[in-house]
Amino acid sequence: MDATNQSQKPQISAEIVRLLSALRWRIRTYVWIEGLSVAVIWVGLTFWASLAIDYLPVLLGASEMPRTARAVLLGAIALVLGWILYRWVLRRTFVRMPNRSMAMLLERRFGQFHDSLLTSVELTDRELDADTSARMLSQTQEEAIGNLRRVKLSSVFDARPLVFSLVGAILLTGSVGLFYAAQAKAFRIGVERIYGLGDTPWPRNSRIEVVGVSVPQTAAGRDGAIRAPLIPFRDQAVKVARGASVTLTVRADATAKHVPDVCTIYYRTAEGDRGRVNMTRVGRIRDDYQTFSYDGKPLKGILSTVTFDVVGFDHRLRGFTLEVVDAPAVIEAELGCEFPGYMVNEELGLWLPRDIPLTSGTQLPAGTEVTLKAASNKPLSEVRVFDTQSEKSTSLPDGAIDDDRLGFAIPLGKLQDPVSLEITLVDTDNVASDRAHRVYVGAIADVAPRVNVGLRGIGTAVTPDVRIPIQGSVQDDYGVARTWLEVMVGDQQPGEVPITIARDGGLETDIDFRARRADGERALQAGDTLNLTVKAADRADLTSSPNVGVSDHYQLEVVAPDELLSRLEARELGLRKRFEQVVMEVTEMRDSLVRVRVEGPDAETTGGDLGERDRPLEDDSAGENGPSESPAEAALRIAKRKWALRLLRSQRAVFQSQKSAQETLGIAASFDDIRLELINNRVETQDRKERLQEKIAEPLNQIGETLFPELDSRLEALIQTMDQRIDELAASGEEDADTVAKAEAALEQANEVLLAMNEVLENMLDLESFNELLDLVRGIIRDQEKILSETKKQQLLELSE
């Protein structure tokens, strides 16, 4: 094959190559400019958006965006920016753009080529065979080149997206530049916070600070004033007592650009409650600060931990905590006591040193050495003690607080006067008890012995030979040192007679003035005044002298035996008259029982011995319900009234019986006292004493202790029968045998009582007659003595003449 027939690869025209290269360059330039513009727009928009997200909450009183959130936002911006650069620049810029694609683009945009440009490019990219006409290729290229002069590459591109991107990028870049020019410091802070993740805060127009909290406490002392010391926050936290009412104090800097009108608390409790409250503006600006306070919910009666933020205009303070803890309190207290020596009885184990629980009314003997020992519910750092008596306040030394800080001891010294203390505890959390723990210990002064004695068988008058029995008791809480009888006759100096008392304090002794006279003591004489007092001294040694207890004072008149007998006889006469009255009352009671027995359903109700209170029972029976009452109903009503009257008489009989029994026993005791006075004063004969005892006192006691109780028993049985069956008995219309029998038994016993009483009354009258006879004899003797005395005087007068 010769050379002319060999295939050859034609060359593209240089003009076509330049055109296609220019198009390729313009496309890549377009892509770079548009991609970078979009990237600038993204950076600008995210700059302003991030700035707004970080700064605008500050204007609303919130805090800046935290670093973590800013880091996440910066990462999102970087990711999107990378995607833009890849999507709009890298992927489009470095894509392969061959001549055929460029020629096809021009063919589509400019129709005058009629595929000549594309054919020229495609033919130059392949080898032509020998049959192909070189002349045809040359003609096609010439045709394409001829149309190149009418091609404008700028018309190939849509400039609007590029313009929009450029304008947007320029505007955003300009706005950022203007922001920098106007607020360079803010621009730098924004760039540092957004892109450098710095923590420089945005400048505020207002500046506030949390000063602290105040917890009201009752001041120690009698006035009980309320004070509220200010407690500052430490590490943005303060511990307060559970249930305390807290006042939060915040102040705003008045020299700042803006002083907030109100400060707001945003709180969260441990239970999950949330809310916001406004603080109260306190007064005016002072010392370049405006103060705000708040003491309402949730700070009033706080029960759980509260976390809060405070916002004043555009300044927010975060993360403050009020931690609720238990207030320190005394949970146990006792008194260590060492009692005075005179109180201690080691033999009986009494009043030995010991600890006594402290109560609200604790009282201790005066002179006791006392130490207050107390335990608290929390470790303590300080114990403040206020003495309400001296109004002095002290703090316990550290040595007075236990090693575990859960207890303390306060020496109170020797107790002389009541001790009243108010103790305030401060725990290791610096929380003070809201109310002082009050301690009161009363001092019981040792009292004198209690002397309870009486004179047995002694009246207001005695004879010179009297023997005075003394009975009773002498008691003292800690023992009696000595006991004595103080005797004073007339205006003489009193004398002392020692008395011995039993181990249990019982006292039974006597003083015999006839024996004292035999021993050389001054004899009593008629007309003297005898004063007797029993005294006892205790073992107390707290003062210079012991306590002395004194009995009742007894002043006795000394009279002759005849005078004493006359007075006793007058008393006997009065007792007899009293007894006659008792006999008369018992007789009336017996007559009332007679009516209870005989006035059955068929008896006439005439009133008889009824009193005024009984008469309505009878008068009212005439027709209580008027004409509307049937005869049967009237009969039943009358029967009920009769039985009620019998029951009433029986009840009154019981009351009278009990009353008469007590009076009889009282009269018996009085006669026995007269007998004892006769014995103690050594007057009268044995016969009279026996008559008083055997014929009056003992029978009266028998009547009061035996006969009257038996009568009461029978009357109670009668009353019980009628009271339980009164309706039944009234309805039957007949007498009841059981009632009659019990009424008869009561009447029989009443007669027996009257018989015994009348017998005693006769003995009293016999004794009175005997006394009258004795009075007559004593009168004759006195007259004889008077005549004899006058005769002697007359004889002496005659002898002297």
Between 366-370, 691-695, 796-800, the lowest mean confidence (pLDDT) is in 796-800
Kindly state the average pLDDT of the residues 581-610.
73
pLDDT of residue 6: 47
pLDDT of residue 611: 46
Kindly state the average pLDDT of the residues 676-698.
82
- Segment holding 248, helix H or strand E: strand 247-253
Residues in CB range of 289: below 8 A, 6 or more apart: 251, 252, 253, 254
Kindly state the average pLDDT of the residues 83-110.
70
752: left (phi over 0), alpha (psi -120 to 50) or beta: alpha
pLDDT digits (tens, 9 = 90+) for 242-297: 888 899 999 999 898 888 989 999 999 988 899 999 998 998 989 889 999 998 88
- 320: number of Cβ within 10 Å: 21
Percent of the chain with pLDDT over 70: 78
Tokens of 95: 């894509």
CB 351 within 8 A of CB 345: yes
Q: What is the DSSP string of 492-516?
A: SPPEEEEE---TTSEEEEEEEHHHH
pLDDT digits (tens, 9 = 90+) for 608-667: 444 444 444 444 444 445 556 677 677 667 777 777 787 888 889 889 999 999 999 999
Provide the β-strand partners of residue 82. Answer: none
More confident residue, 603 or 375: 375
Tokens of 776: 């007559």
Give the CA count within 13 Å in the CB-facing half-sphere of 151: 26
pLDDT digits (tens, 9 = 90+) for 437-447: 899 998 888 88
pLDDT of residue 788: 73
pLDDT digits (tens, 9 = 90+) for 528-586: 899 999 999 988 888 878 889 999 999 999 998 888 888 888 888 888 899 899 999 99
- Residue 231: pLDDT band with limits 50, 70, 90: confident
Proportion of the chain in helix, strand, coil states, percent, rounded to 5: 45, 25, 30
CB 589 within 8 A of CB 489: no
638: left (phi over 0), alpha (psi -120 to 50) or beta: alpha
Cα Rg of the chain (Å, integer) = 64
Tokens of 428: 């290791």
CA atoms of 180 and 101, how far apart (whole Å) = 47
CB 557 within 8 A of CB 462: yes
623: left (phi over 0), alpha (psi -120 to 50) or beta: left
Between 146-155, 243-252, 273-282, 678-687, the lowest mean confidence (pLDDT) is in 146-155
The residue behind tokens 């947007």 is 168
Q: Is the pLDDT of residue 607 over 50?
A: no
CA atoms of 234 and 252, how far apart (whole Å) = 19
Kindly state the average pLDDT of the residues 479-490.
89
**What DSSP character marks residue 193?**
H
Among 617, 623, 620, 606, which residue's Cα sits nearest to residue 647? 617
The residue behind tokens 């003491």 is 295
Tokens of 563: 């005078």
pLDDT of residue 645: 82
SS3 331: strand
Between 107-121, 266-280, 653-667, 785-799, the lowest mean confidence (pLDDT) is in 107-121
- 443: number of Cβ within 10 Å: 17
- Residue 755: pLDDT band with limits 50, 70, 90: very high
CA atoms of 254 and 135, how far apart (whole Å) = 97
**CA geometry: angle 476, 481, 487, nearest 5 deg:** 95
Nearest 10 degrees: CA dihedral of 95, 99, 101, 105?
Answer: 120
Q: What is the DSSP string of 746-787?
A: HHHHHHHHHHHHHHHHHHHHHHHHHHHHHHHHHHHHHHHHHH
By DSSP bridging, strand 506-512 and strand 467-475 are antiparallel
Tokens of 579: 């007894």
Between 111-125, 489-503, 513-527, 661-675, the lowest mean confidence (pLDDT) is in 111-125
Kindly state the average pLDDT of the residues 437-463.
89
Between 12-26, 60-74, 81-95, 612-626, the lowest mean confidence (pLDDT) is in 612-626
More confident residue, 697 or 107: 697
By DSSP bridging, strand 419-427 and strand 437-444 are antiparallel
CA atoms of 510 and 453, how far apart (whole Å) = 12
CA atoms of 470 and 457, how far apart (whole Å) = 9
pLDDT of residue 1: 40
Tokens of 491: 């205006």
pLDDT digits (tens, 9 = 90+) for 362-383: 888 888 999 999 999 889 888 9
CA atoms of 328 and 431, how far apart (whole Å) = 7
CA atoms of 1 and 238, how far apart (whole Å) = 109
CA atoms of 632 and 629, how far apart (whole Å) = 8
Residue type, 110: F
- Segment holding 522, helix H or strand E: none
Between 103-107, 396-400, 493-497, the lowest mean confidence (pLDDT) is in 103-107
Give helix 184-194 / helix 67-84 axis angle, nearest 10°: 80
Among 561, 544, 559, 638, which residue's Cα sits nearest to residue 600? 638
CA atoms of 639 and 632, how far apart (whole Å) = 11
Task: Read off φ and ψ for residue 59, nearest 5 degrees.
Answer: -65, -25
Among 124, 87, 86, 100, which residue's Cα sits nearest to residue 10? 124
